[in-house]
Every structure is written in structure tokens, then in C-alpha cells.
Amino acid sequence: MSDASSSSQTNALSRFLRTETVGGTALLMAAFVALVWANSPWADAYQHLGEIHVGTDSLSLFGQPLHLRLTLAEWAKDGLLAIFFFVAGLELKRELVVGELSTLRSAALPVICATGGVVVPALIAFAVAHDDPRIASAWAIPIATDIAFALGILSLTGSRLPSGARVFLLGLAVVDDLIAIVVIAVLFSTGLSLLWLGVAVAGCAAYALAQHRRITTPLLYIPLAALVWIAMLQSGVHATIAGVALGLLTRVRRDKGELEAPAERLEHRIQPFSALVCVPIFAFFASGVAINGEVFRALFTDKIALAIIAGLFFGKIIGIFGSSTLAVKLRIAERPEGLFPRDILALSVLGAIGFTVSLLVAELSLGDGADLAKAAVLLTSLVASVIGSLLLLRRGRAHTNT
């Protein structure tokens, strides 16, 4: 890789981390406002806001009706999160092709830890609630780490750790997101329409061809992206998968004479909107859970809530830290330079912060009964944030004194 290309990728990574840090703060504020509003005397107004319908059912394409009259909460879940997943797809493609996951040596530890951080939470969730029929889909709730929230906490409380900590956490979260995306696509695809799925695939193929032909005009890409999203929405596959697919099809290597590759240019332009608008708005509509004495009691008696808490907190820590320890001992992978086992443990606790994707999976798997599951996600994420912050501060002092 040339010095210019390396510098470009470093700048892209720095921009990504800065935006995700600010985005984590915005996400937290949106969730806080939603929680306060949902537990205030004006809670009915909050519920009514999310149920307002926007759009139309009168449009059709290829003789098929388009169901585009959605509630504001559905637009946030199916529309705005598609933009978030598009940025995730861009970042994943960049990391796999030219970034920290582009070589087997550099990718080994984050990939192994991300896999452990998905498998162990799922197994713990199954073990806790194996006799509850809801676990058939709810097991996927505790498998995801929130990249914006985790990077935000790391930036605020772990700034004195070596830079390898950020690279490790980013790689871990990117692979974690990929696994979660596959789970969403497989687990929550219902009533598949082959016609609409074919339209989505054709749209993706046209997008890839345009990238190959070096076409740059947004007059082509915006309609194509809209077509793929609409087709995916109608097909029965969750609409956010459209964002991932287009992100992964975007070119990440610069041509001679280009200042930025298309993926880097799009990420630079769209990521702030995703981190500061799309994700906070989704969090606002997804986090408004009524918290009272009955809910608190249910958090520690309901099997699904217990499965989420145990899976997300203990499962993530055991899965990530345990996988790291095993991989290093077996010499399958190496820790980033300057990081010690206790640093990986602190970062593993940040892995237990499940927010955006966990809340999405809770809605997809439990529907109207998702409020208790969301409360479990929020409580566990809060506890993981506090404990992770304290551990990072302590590890920062240790690195400063060495």
C-alpha cells in the first residue's frame, strides 16, 4: 500500500471514530429523552407520535402495489436504519479490503473474539430460557454490540490506552455487525416474494455495474438505491439488508487521479447523517419503555429478560475475553501491540453494550411484547457502560504510570 493510500485510510478511520464518538453521545441523549417522555404524564403523546402514519399505499410498480404507508417508528426502523447499515456496509468493505481486517494476521483476533461474543451470549440465552417458546427468535437479541455507543465510551474514558484498543474494538464491532446482519436476514425474513427479491437483486447488479464502469452521478445511484430498498421492503427480507448490500458493492480502492475512493467519499458524506440523525431517531422511537416497579420485578423474574441480561452481559464478556485468551495461548492470533489481558477485559465489557441492533432485534422477534426485552437491553447496556468506563479509567492510569 502506498504512503498516500495509507494516509487516506488513516484519515478515513479517524473521521469514522470521531463521528461515531459524537454519534454515541447523540444516541444516548435521544434514548434518555425517550425514557423520560415515556415515563412522564405525557406518555400517551409519545406513543401517539410513533404511531403517526406517513406515506401512501396508492403507488404500484410492475403492476404490484407498494406498501409505503408506514408509521414514523416504522420509517425509523426500516428506512433510517437502512442508511445506518449502508454506512456499516461501507466500513465493513473498507476494513476487509484495505483496512485492519485485510490480512489474516490483523483480522484473526477481532474475528475470533466477535465470533465468541456472538456464540456464547446465544448459548447462555438458550440455557436460561430454553423452555420459553419466545427464545426461538429472542436468542438473537443479546448477540450485537453497539459500535457508536462502545466507541463513544472508549473515547471518553479510554483515551490513555494504546491506539490498538480502538482498532481492536472497531474490528470486533464490524465483524459483530456482519454476523448480526446475517442473523437478521435469515431469521426475520418472512413470506418471501421471489418477484421483489429478483428486483432487489437486479438493482444491486445495476449498482455494481455502475461502480465497475466508474459512473459517479448521484442521479443514477439515488434512484437505484431507492428501488433496491423498496424491493427489499416488499420482498419479505428486512429492508435494512438493502443498505448492507449496496455498501458492500461500493468500490473502496482509489483509481489513479482520484482523491477519494467512492466508499470513502460516501462514508465521509453520509456517516454524520447516519450517526447524528438516523441512529438517534431510531433510538428515540425504540427506547421509550415505561419503567415502573412491575417492570423492574419482571426484569429479574421473566425468563426472556433474564436470558437477555445474562447473555448480553456475561455472555459478551466471557465470549470476547475467553476467545481472546484462548486464541493468544494457542498462538492463533496476537494481541495488538501495547495491550494486555486486562485491557482486553475492559474492552470486552464495552462489548456488552447492546443498543441499536439489539433494540431492532427485540422489535423484530417479540413485536408488541418487546418492551420488557428493551428494558433488559437498556439496563444491561447502562451497567456495562459504567463498569467498562471504570475499568478503562483504571487501565488508563496503569498505562500512564508504566
Give 143-190 pLDDT, tens digit per residue.
988 877 787 788 778 778 887 788 788 788 878 877 888 888 888 877
The two most distant CA atoms of the chain are separated, in Å, by 69
Q: Between the CA of residue 388 and those of 83, 89, 201, 287, 391, what are the distances in Å?
A: 29, 27, 42, 21, 5
Task: Give the model's pLDDT for residue 168.
Answer: 86
Task: Give the model's pLDDT for residue 46.
Answer: 94
Judge whether 366 and 373 are in contact, CB under 8 Å.
Answer: yes
Task: Give the model's pLDDT for residue 318.
Answer: 97
Render each residue's pLDDT in the chain as its tens digit; 402 residues: 455 555 555 555 556 555 666 777 888 889 899 999 999 999 999 999 999 999 888 887 777 778 888 999 999 989 998 998 898 888 878 877 887 677 777 788 988 999 999 999 999 999 999 999 999 989 999 998 887 778 778 877 877 888 778 878 878 887 887 788 888 888 887 778 888 999 999 999 999 999 999 998 999 999 999 999 999 999 888 888 899 899 999 999 988 888 889 998 998 889 888 888 998 998 899 888 888 888 888 998 999 999 999 999 999 999 999 999 999 999 898 888 888 999 999 999 999 998 888 988 998 889 878 889 999 999 999 899 999 999 999 998 888 876
Instruction: Express each pLDDT in 338-372 by its tens digit.
Output: 889 999 999 999 999 988 889 889 988 898 788 89
How many angstroms separate the CA atoms of 57 and 59, rounded?
Answer: 6
pTM of the model: 0.81
How many angstroms separate the CA atoms of 128 and 106, rounded?
Answer: 35
Task: Give the model's pLDDT for residue 13.
Answer: 54
291-296: long-range contacts, CB 8 A cutoff, minimum separation 24 = 291/35, 291/39, 291/375, 292/39, 295/371, 295/372, 295/375
How many angstroms separate the CA atoms of 380 and 384, rounded?
Answer: 6
Task: Give the model's pLDDT for residue 289.
Answer: 85
How many angstroms separate the CA atoms of 314 and 273, rounded?
Answer: 33
Task: Give the model's pLDDT for residue 144.
Answer: 87
Task: Give the model's pLDDT for residue 388.
Answer: 93
Closest-CA residue to 209 (of 249, 247, 256)? 249
Task: Give the model's pLDDT for residue 147.
Answer: 75
Task: Give the model's pLDDT for residue 21.
Answer: 65
Task: Give the model's pLDDT for residue 190.
Answer: 73
- Domains plus CATH for the chain? 10-189+238-401 (1.20.1530.10)
Task: Give the model's pLDDT for residue 54.
Answer: 92
Task: Give the model's pLDDT for residue 18.
Answer: 59
